Amino acid sequence: MKHIFIFVALCITFYTHAQAPKGHAKPGDTYGSAFPDQSKIETLNSNQLLQRLNPDSKDTLVVIISGKVKDACSAKGCWLTMDVTPEHELMMKMQDYAFFVPTAIIGKNIQAYGRVFIKTVSVEDLKHYAEDAGKTKAEIDNITKPERQYRFVARGIRVVS
């Protein structure tokens, strides 16, 4: 009986951690760590990000970035994307998987506090993200080469509108 109880407890734990958190992602909702005093850290929108982060650079900036969420991981809420330019998007992951966001965050304007940089992403990882986003098999099969992406490791996320 003891083993059955442990098994059920483990199943419940896995099930609750394998899904994106519930919620409506209302303005004022925050996920992750508290934001620092905004007078002590630079706040950038996507246009300013492009000016500050040279595509050929290996720089990492610690900033607060603002923008609109384009997509999010439907499995756990462990990543989201924002448009930076019509050709590029910013892939955002949560630092150390310490928190997740609800899928209701798609289409919301947010601010995120963390590190931004540019990274070359492998075909394998790009296909994994496409699967998480619910893309079709044909869309996934069309991914054939690595891609340079704007990346963000979020310490905290706040829904603005």
Would you state the pLDDT for residue 13? 44
Would you state the pLDDT for residue 22? 78
- Give 100 or 1, the one with higher predicted confidence: 100
Average pLDDT, the chain: 85
Residue 14 lies in a domain: no
> What is the residue range of 34's domain?
21-159
Encoded amino acid at 16, one letter: T
Residue 47 lies in a domain: yes
Token pair of 24 as six digits? 């409506």
Q: How many structural domains comprise the chain?
A: 1
DSSP symbols for 16-43? HHSSPPP----TT-EEESPPPPGGGS-E
Residue 2 lies in a domain: no
pLDDT above 90 for 40: no
Would you state the pLDDT for residue 103? 92
Residue 26 lies in a domain: yes
For range 63-79, the mean pLDDT: 91
CATH code of 148's domain? 2.40.50
- Give 126 or 132, the one with higher predicted confidence: 126
Residue 127 lies in a domain: yes
CA torsion 109-103-106-90 (nearest 10°) is 80
Residue 102 lies in a domain: yes
112 C-beta neighbours (distance < 10 Å), count: 27
Token pair of 122 as six digits? 């492998």
Residue 118 lies in a domain: yes
For range 41-50, the mean pLDDT: 84
CA distance 85 to 71: 15
